[in-house]
Amino acid sequence: MQLKIGKAQGRDFSIDAQELVTGRTCIIAQSGAGKSWSIAVLCETMCRAKIGFCLIDTEGEYYSLKEKFPDILWIGAEGADADVDDISLDYDIEKINIKQLVSKAVSESRPIIFDVSEVDMVPRVTRLAHVLYDVASEQKKPYLLIVEEADKFIPQSRDSIKKIEEISRRGRKRGLGLLVATQRPAIVTKNVLSQCNNQIIGKLSIDNDLKAVGIFFSSKQEVEELTTLNPGDFFVMGSLAHEKTKIQFGKRQTKHRGVTPLLEEREIVEYFEEEEEEEEEDMSIYEDAGRITRPDKPEDDEEDENISKLPEILLTDHPEEEQEKNDFQTEEENPKTPGIKEEDKPKPKPAQKKAARKKITRSTTKSPEEAVINLIERDEAFEIAGTKLRRKRFGFGSGERLISGNMIYIPLFHVSVKYIRGRFRKTTQHTSFVIDGVKGRCVDTAGGLKFRPCFSDYIGLDENSIKVLNVMSFSGETVADLEGMTRLKQSPVKSALSRLEERKMVTISDTVGESDEPVYVPLITSTLPKLGTRQRNFDFRTGTLNGEKWDINIKEGDIRTILKALEPTSEIIEFRLYYYPLFEIKAGSDLEERTLYIDALSGREVIINI
């Protein structure tokens, strides 16, 4: 019997029912990647085929299967159905004779939703596992045990429920199959994972989890591919498929009760404070030879209301060696506010030429800004940092100890651009990318934050200066050379070179000819990437930002100026903001103190040059 569960390359994809029901299968994907959805699709498919299963529900979200399949037996805490329309709890988990009910369900191939969301989970699940194993030994009929959030019941510790481990080893001969599902395979006992000859694996980001599923892949490159999957995409492997197949699970018949609640749309009324605020301690950080200083007063943040989860698409890659990182936030346009005269509004400071050092500020906020939800916790970040500290760094490091650690949020911009391309046949192209908002570096979030210089050296320049700087090489160019390369007239080229010299971005290296024509060379190593068409979506679960964040220096106009210099037809159609979490961990010894940054999604160290 074949069960159709989704699509692979536009075609229906089916799995063998016998292998699913009596085999050993694991479904692994991080939060928000579609794990619960995929389990529900499998359950609905089995219900249509009259296949029996028992699903351990830790969140009370699968009772909605009864909307279309009333034969399902819902066992849970009394009162669990109080807020549910047209669906009633069948049995009270505290009063039911579980042995009698399971015997009936197995003999009749009836599904069970074993809802432990409102009770002490482990004792009930332990009892259920023993009963199912005994009943399966007696009846020897195909039946599937589905363990959601398996890390709660079979962790990599002595607290693992041994009967579930035994089912993974000996259940097949009794007709009792096992499907375990988890977001964190790294903390599930390997005694069970190693028995899973069928795998359904979706997006993962945390290093330890990627290592844990490495046993199912033939190469590290295949494992790394998991970090790039979109929500709902899964690799099906093992005996369920002839070869590793990427699929998208199909639609559900029943309502998804595990969806993240959404904020209601509300009008936000802006206002200006009329009273002077008390002076607060600033958390400004200055970039100057690695020193950190604290001036007197922070700048106010202006926050973008339109913050959301973003897809990330990069420009055509330009290889650069440096990985850095920072922060940002869009500036709202100055709104006209009732009751405030235009001349009374605070005047923006005029733009200044590049200073000797760039100020990077932080602020603490409790405003309802959205931030990407972290996948690793503070204790895990400490464990990862501790492991890195134990590795000697240029002969030093063995004496270092952890001092402190806190979550910080980096603002990232998703920039979407349209432009016209084609020498003979003009067509509209679309590309998008992610930048940090302090230095304008390109950001890659796949497998942990990585930074490339990208726009950073060109922020604050005018179009002509950008055009001139971007075509210069270390072999040097004269003014005439640059005229031909940029198609600018002599006067704008000379003006651009003068401005670049003032900012110490170019210098004269030599002179040529009888007139001693100066030869200019750049003092920066990066060039701008070319506009491409690369698009790769990244979706993150978001929540409310409530903590320290890095402030924004980059404006939309800065990026628009650079894009216009690259391609005059380019237009920014989206400039959106979201905050990305990191753990900032202080460590030190008798000799020095240093800071490590740990990606709160992948667990990898992030290189940040402040």
pLDDT per residue over 310-339, tens digit each? 344 334 444 343 433 333 333 333 444 444
User: Could you tell me how many residues make up the chain?
Assistant: 610
pLDDT of residue 37: 92
In a domain, 202, yes or no: yes
Per-residue pLDDT of 26-75, as tens digits, reads 999 998 888 999 999 999 999 999 999 999 999 888 988 998 999 999 99
pLDDT, residue 529, reads 85
- Across residues 222-227, what is the average pLDDT? 89
**pLDDT at residue 231, rounded to an integer:** 84
Domain final residue pick, 496, 527, 558: 527
Short-list 99, 81, 98, 100, CA closest to 90? 81
* 517-565 tens-digit pLDDT: 999 999 988 888 888 877 765 567 777 777 788 888 899 999 999 999 9
**Locus of tokens 């924004």:** 552
Assigned domain for 376 exists? no
Distance CA 16, CA 12 (A): 13
**572 belongs to a structural domain:** no
Phi, psi of 366 (to 5 degrees): -125, 20
Last-in-domain residue among 249, 272, 296: 249
> Which pLDDT value is given to residue 12?
93
Domain membership of residue 354 (yes or no) is: no
The stretch 474-478 carries a mean pLDDT of 92
Q: End of a domain among 478, 497, 527?
A: 527
Q: In this structure, what CATH number is given to the domain that contains residue 230?
A: 3.40.50.300
With respect to residue 451, please indicate whether it lies within any of the assigned structural domains.
no
More confident of the two residues 562 and 356: 562
> What local confidence, expressed as pLDDT, does residue 159 receive?
86
In a domain, 101, yes or no: yes
**Number of independent structural domains in the chain:** 2
Of 256 and 339, more confident: 256
Distance (Å, whole) CA 211 – CA 393: 24
Query: Is residue 600 in a domain?
Result: no
Whole-model pTM: value is 0.52
Return the axis-axis angle of helices 121-139 and 98-108, rounded to nearest 10°.
50
Q: Give pLDDT, residue 150.
A: 94
Please, what is the average pLDDT of the chain? 80
- Single-letter amino acid code for the residue at 219: S
| Single-letter amino acid, residue 603 | G
- How many whole angstroms separate alpha carbon 520 and alpha carbon 223? 47
Q: CATH number of the domain at 504, please.
A: 1.10.10.10
Q: φ and ψ at 101, to 5 degrees?
A: -70, -45
In tens, the pLDDT along 440-452 reads: 888 887 777 888 8
Taking 80 as the threshold, does the pLDDT of residue 6 lie above it? yes
Closest Cα partner for 180 from 404, 2, 26, 31? 26
Domain that holds residue 501: 456-527
CB 403 within 8 A of CB 575: no
State the average pLDDT over residues 389-395.
57
User: Per the domain annotation, does 346 fall within a domain?
Assistant: no
| Cβ atoms of 44 and 66 closer than 8 Å | no
At 310 the pLDDT is 37
